[in-house]
């Protein structure tokens, strides 16, 4: 992380007590003890992602109900182009990786396109690949080199400006991106409404909610859009409860 210019590390329920002062951790942090010392330890993934608007899970294993799959470079370009996004990379532990429940709540699943016959990467190697791509994307923007995501944004802005100049109404407005906590609350509210409607059987939910989460993860939901959907869910539950 420090080699590539990043410094915000969050550890979720680490294995050892006193992890930040653990002898082996300090030894492996060689020269980057400041990042280890300033790391934040939390008790849950929800706490780790407070204030995050775009979370990407890193996994070698593709999931049936995963969010959209991105290559490391795609994620890095998207994160760099969206300066307003507070993005996070989520890594699992070395032995078990990430559980499906965490992956399904993310905006994207990052899959490193390694040799399919030998795709083994340890945690440090996977993290290095991702932070390298993020650094290269950031340096490209600083140098004025357009990224695919940035180029698309610029094209949209130019089209909107041209339309406004010609007297047509402006389009393409983007509001504040919804945080993961807001989106998670929307899913819970939506599930309650679907149960109240009788559309979702709470005792036999099958895969409805994972499919809905996958559908919504293909968009970048805005706060106002989340509020609209929660308002609809509230009206449904008020009517049937």
Helix, coil or strand: residue 122 = coil
pTM of the entire structure? 0.69
Q: Who wins on pLDDT, 168 or 164?
A: 168
pLDDT at 82 over 80: no
Distance set, CA 19 to CA 40, 54, 69, 90, 93 (Å): 10, 27, 32, 19, 15
CATH architecture of 51-173: 3-Layer(aba) Sandwich (3.40)
Tell which CATH classification among 3.40.50.300, 3.30.930.10, 3.40.50.2300, 1.10.8.590 matches the domain 180-240. 1.10.8.590
* CA 68, chain centre distance (Å): 10
| CA pseudo-torsion sign 37, 43, 48, 51 | negative
pLDDT digit string, tens, across residues 183-219? 899 999 999 999 999 999 988 888 898 888 888 887 8
Residues 6+ apart with CB under 8 A from 217: 67, 68, 106, 107, 108
pLDDT digit string, tens, across residues 4-41? 999 999 999 998 889 999 999 999 999 999 999 999 99
């Amino acid at each position: 992380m420090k080699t590539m210019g990043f410094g915000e590390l969050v550890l979720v329920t680490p294995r050892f007590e006193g992890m930040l002062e653990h002898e082996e951790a300090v030894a492996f942090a060689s020269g980057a003890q400041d990042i280890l010392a300033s790391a934040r330890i939390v008790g849950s993934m929800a706490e780790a992602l407070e204030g995050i608007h775009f979370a990407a899970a890193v996994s070698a294993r593709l999931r049936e109900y995963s969010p959209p799959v991105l290559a490391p470079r795609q994620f890095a370009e998207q994160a760099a182009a969206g300066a307003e996004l507070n993005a996070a990379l989520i890594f699992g532990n070395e032995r078990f990786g990430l559980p499906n429940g965490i992956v399904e709540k993310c905006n994207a699943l990052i899959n490193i396109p390694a040799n399919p016959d030998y795709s083994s990467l340890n945690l440090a190697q996977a993290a290095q690949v991702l932070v390298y791509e993020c650094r290269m994307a950031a340096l490209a923007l600083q140098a004025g080199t357009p990224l695919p995501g940035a180029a698309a944004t610029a094209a949209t802005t130019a089209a909107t400006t041209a339309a406004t100049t010609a007297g047509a109404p402006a389009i393409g407005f983007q509001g504040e991106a919804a945080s993961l906590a807001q989106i998670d609350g929307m899913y819970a509210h939506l599930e309650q409404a679907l149960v109240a409607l009788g559309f979702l059987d709470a005792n036999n939910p099958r895969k409805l909610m994972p499919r809905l989460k996958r559908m919504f993860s293909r968009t970048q939901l805005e706060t106002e859009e989340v509020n609209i959907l929660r308002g609809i869910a509230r009206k449904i539950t008020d009517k049937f409860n």
